[in-house]
Copies of this chain bind each other. A is one copy, B any other.
């Protein structure tokens, strides 16, 4: 594949932690651009990124990079993101394209659209990849490889901006880009991401755990891998998507109570059918 060449454009990453750092490394590795900058309050991370050649320069003051960037990628925590946008709205370069990387889309997209300048464009985004650890030191361009990226274009989105963003996402390693509304996104990830995270944390909070650590096999390790969680970020994400998550938890409690009852009543036919459905569907997922 020919490398993406947008060497007339400047890009700024806001927040150079795990996702922001990985984004910066993946852009540096795969895309020709004019300047790649980062904004953060963490000077150590900025210096590390600058002196290893990942970014051209790092800033704790947003004015200069925002005034000169065609594309701004927000990789900050939920509660900081909207404040950052509001406080810095006057600095953004005319016609700049802004995107974010938050795991929740409805709130950030609607709040941003209500405060954004008319000449700017905001497209919500969610890279479906991550690691347990956080911080720039754990960032890695390869975490994006073969992962999915969800974009939530809105009525103000131009096809030019959407296509440019898609080119960048594909160039840095993502295998699929899925477009949907921000509401649909939040409904879906309540099931595919937040429910398994909450289950993993519930297992780790079990009062049985300490007695049983010596008999842990692969199934328990896998089921709890994501339980080494960023609690600050996740408490925000969970409350932001509260209604959808409560809905999924209710469904799951009904489902697992149902299989409890199947086992309790020695209903072998239904247990085997439950296991067979599971086996067939999981095999088909092929991941």
Q: A229-B279, A271-B238 are in contact. Are A251 and B213 (CB under 8 A)?
A: no
User: Quick one: copies of this chain in the complex?
Assistant: 2
Chain A contact surface mostly: helix
Chain B: CB-nearest residue to A248: B208
Asked if B228 and A130 make an inter-chain contact with CB atoms under 8 angstroms apart, the answer reads no
Of the candidate stretches A12-20, A23-31, A161-169, A186-194, the one touching chain B is A186-194
Q: A178-B215, A215-B148, A222-B222 are in contact. Are A198 and B256 (CB under 8 A)?
A: yes
Asked if A255 and B205 make an inter-chain contact with CB atoms under 8 angstroms apart, the answer reads yes
- From B203, B204, B281, A204 is in contact (CB under 8 Å) with B281
Binding site for B on A (CB under 8 A): 128-130, 132, 147-148, 150, 176, 178, 185, 188-189, 191-193, 195-209, 211-232, 234-235, 238-239, 242, 245-246, 248-253, 255-257, 259-260, 263-264, 266, 268, 271-272, 274-279, 281-283, 285, 287
- From B147, B226, B274, A205 is in contact (CB under 8 Å) with B274
A103 smallest CB distance to B (angstroms): 9
A282: B residues at CB distance < 8 A: 132, 200, 204, 224-225, 227-229
A75 smallest CB distance to B (angstroms): 17
Q: A226-B222, A281-B204 are in contact. Are A275 and B217 (CB under 8 A)?
A: no
- From B197, B203, B220, A219 is in contact (CB under 8 Å) with B197
Chain B: CB-nearest residue to A226: B219
Asked if A220 and B193 make an inter-chain contact with CB atoms under 8 angstroms apart, the answer reads yes
Asked if B260 and A249 make an inter-chain contact with CB atoms under 8 angstroms apart, the answer reads yes
Asked if A209 and B150 make an inter-chain contact with CB atoms under 8 angstroms apart, the answer reads no
Chain B: CB-nearest residue to A211: B188
Cα A149 to Cα B192 with chains together (Å): 33
Cα A26 to Cα B260 with chains together (Å): 38
- From B188, B206, B218, B263, A226 is in contact (CB under 8 Å) with B218
Asked if A205 and B253 make an inter-chain contact with CB atoms under 8 angstroms apart, the answer reads no
Q: A196-B222, A214-B148, A219-B196 are in contact. Are A204 and B278 (CB under 8 A)?
A: yes
